[in-house]
Amino acid sequence: MDEGEYKRKYANLRILKSVQEYLKDDTKAPTAVYPINVPDDLLYQILQHQGPEKADEVIHRIFKIGLTIWSEQLYKEAFGSEESLKAFIDLVKKKNKE
C-alpha cells in the first residue's frame, strides 16, 4: 500500500470512528452547520402541531439516519470487509509503534 492510499484509508477510518461515536452518544454534536434544506411543509407542520423542539428532534433523527447510511457506504468503499478493516487497523498500530 502506497503512502497516498494509506492516508486516504486513515482519514476514512477517523471519519468512521467519529461517526460511530456521534451515533452512539445521543448528545448534540459540538459543531453545527447551517443551513440545511428540508421540505417546507414538513417543517411547517411539525412546528405548528408539535413545536420547535419536536421539529429539531425530527430533523436530527433524519440526519442520523442519513449519516448511518452514508457511513455504511463509506465503510464498504474504503474497506469492503471486516477482515480488510482489521488488517488496516493492525497496519496503523504497527506504524504507530515505529
Distance CA 39, CA 43 (A): 7
pLDDT at residue 28, as a whole number: 63
Per-residue pLDDT tens over the stretch 19-49: 998 888 766 666 777 677 888 898 899 999 9
**Exposure class string for 21-54: b at 16+ Cβ within 10 A, else e:** ebeeeeeeeeeeeeeeeeeeeeeeebeeeeeeee
Give the domain ranges of the chain: 3-97
Q: Is the pTM of this model over 0.85?
A: no
